[in-house]
């Protein structure tokens, strides 16, 4: 929420249910304390606003599913050297983030879109990944994007999605994947669908 300036030390430590942390645009957040998200075993993404000038030590340690998105282009001097102790992926310089038809996304510094997963309040059971959002091309689905999402029953992935991260559909036990590509593209991680959920290749959306 707006008005929060500090996330205190240990604030969300050992939280096994937290999956995503998104701050409001024009956030007033200045500091994230040490161990704040330590051992958050279900946390798949966080967007760090440009207002954050200090991050403590071991803040995201052992959050092993996490992809970190930062609005700034590089690590500030007052972010502790161990802030990302577990070496989770960091996408620097995101330009904006938002929600489109139940799907949360970020716009990267290269003017392309990564789909993060379903929005917190999303109620749809059938999702269509678009090729364009706000004039930006959609090219990627984040690792663990639909991790343990048991709500979505079908998803359509058009040709043009060149990257899908590891375990993107792990634990999504009710999902059927309809892919326009006739074969898995080379940029999709070998473990993009580790539970071997049903995939209909060469699917044409009517």
pTM: 0.94
The residues with which 101 forms a beta bridge, in sequence order, are none
Average pLDDT, the chain: 96
The pLDDT score that the predictor gives to residue 3 is 79
Residue-wise pLDDT for 131-175, tens only, equals: 999 999 999 999 999 999 999 999 999 999 999 999 999 999 999
Comparing 28 with 175, which gets the higher pLDDT? 175
From residue 149, how far is each of 133, 186, 191 by CA, in Å?
Answer: 23, 25, 17
The residues with which 199 forms a beta bridge, in sequence order, are 177
Residue-wise pLDDT for 101-141, tens only, equals: 999 999 999 999 999 999 988 899 999 999 999 999 999 99
- Please measure the distance between the N-terminal and C-terminal CA atoms of the chain and give it in whole angstroms: 40
Residue-wise pLDDT for 47-56, tens only, equals: 999 999 999 9
Q: Cα(91)–Cα(88) distance, rounded to whole angstroms?
A: 10
Please state the φ and ψ torsions of residue 145, each to the nearest 5 degrees.
-60, -40
The pLDDT score that the predictor gives to residue 1 is 64
Comparing 93 with 120, which gets the higher pLDDT? 93
- Give the mean pLDDT of 72-92: 97
């Amino acid at each position: 929420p707006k008005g929060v300036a500090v996330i205190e030390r240990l604030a969300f430590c050992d939280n096994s249910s937290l999956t995503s942390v998104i701050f409001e645009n024009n956030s007033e957040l200045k500091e994230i304390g040490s161990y704040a998200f330590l051992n958050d075993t279900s946390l798949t993404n966080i967007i760090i606003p440009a207002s954050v000038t200090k991050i403590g030590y071991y803040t995201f340690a052992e959050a092993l599913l996490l992809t970190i998105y930062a609005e700034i282009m590089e690590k500030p001097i007052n972010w502790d050297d161990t802030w990302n102790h577990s070496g989770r992926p960091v996408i620097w310089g995101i330009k904006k983030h938002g929600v489109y038809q139940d799907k949360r996304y970020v716009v990267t510094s290269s003017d392309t879109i990564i789909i993060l997963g379903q929005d917190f309040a999303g109620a749809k059971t059938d999702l269509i990944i678009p090729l364009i959002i706000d004039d930006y091309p959609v090219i990627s689905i984040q690792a663990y994007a639909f991790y343990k999402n048991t709500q979505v029953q079908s998803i359509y992935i058009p040709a043009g999605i060149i990257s899908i991260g590891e375990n993107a559909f792990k634990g999504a036990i009710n999902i059927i994947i309809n892919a326009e590509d006739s074969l898995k593209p080379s940029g999709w991680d070998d473990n993009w669908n580790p539970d071997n959920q049903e995939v209909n290749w060469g699917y044409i959306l009517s």
